[in-house]
Amino acid sequence: MISEEKKIIRVGVMGTAAIAKKNALAISRSSRVELVGVASRTMEKAEAWVKELGLSNIRCFEGYEALVNANDVDAVYVPLPTTYHLEWVLKLARKKKNILIEKPVGTTLAQVEEMIQVCREQGVVIMDGTMFFHHPRFLAMKRFFDDKLHWHPKRVTSAFSFYGGNNFLDKGNIRTRKDADPLGCLGDVGWYCIRIGLAVNHIYIKFL
């Protein structure tokens, strides 16, 4: 349920991953949502994360279960490794919390379908964190995609790359670990290539 008193969405962050820092700051600056807490496996790590970002009036939760059970949280942003998604999405949904989840959503189609089904049953929203669909540049491109009179795509070629450096491999980034993100680069950056290819062909994914 969304807070009726403030009429804004109260958001918690599950995990202190690097990607969560940027999004937590964005949430804290929004007038539509309120960042109310962050959960980590240890209280010390959660407190250090909040201090590093210079955030104030943010609750720190020790353990993810504490955030799941918090009564003052309407939605949760989940930047955990993909292998953890199914477990925590189901727990959050069953506590009536809306979910913004990092991509890839799951490690298999069956996992994603189960998440969607449980969220539907519980009446909550699940949304994947694919930012570019909400960017003005993509909305301008979409006008061309949707012009079926003049737009007839025959082939889509897309690429996404970045320089990870030695630290990316040597220090065990989660995208290089089968126990964390078994889909590797395909699930991480390939997600964008697949989604733009679908959009060019007027296929837009809507979980709920």
DSSP 4-67: TTT-SEEEEEES--HHHHHHHHHHHT-SSEEEEEEEESSHHHHHHHHHHHT--S-EEEESHHHH
Phi-psi region of 53 (alpha: psi -120 to 50; beta: other; left: phi over 0): alpha
Rounded-to-integer distance, Cα 132 and Cα 138, Å: 7
For 56-113, the pLDDT digits (tens) are 889 999 999 999 999 999 999 999 999 999 999 999 999 999 999 999 999 999 999 9
Catalytic-residue membership of 45: no
Q: What residues contact 115, with CB distance under 8 A and at least 6 apart? A: 85, 86, 89, 90, 93, 105, 106, 126
Query: What spatial distance separates the first Cα and last Cα of the chain, rounded to whole Å?
Result: 16
Q: Which residue among 7, 96, 103, 148 is the active-site one?
A: 103
Rounded-to-integer distance, Cα 97 and Cα 12, Å: 10
For 111-154, the pLDDT digits (tens) are 999 999 999 999 999 999 888 888 899 888 888 888 888 878 88
**pLDDT of res. 142:** 86
pLDDT band of 208, cuts 50, 70, 90: very low
CB atoms within 10 A of CB 136: 7
Contact criterion met (CB below 8 Å) for 74 and 9: yes
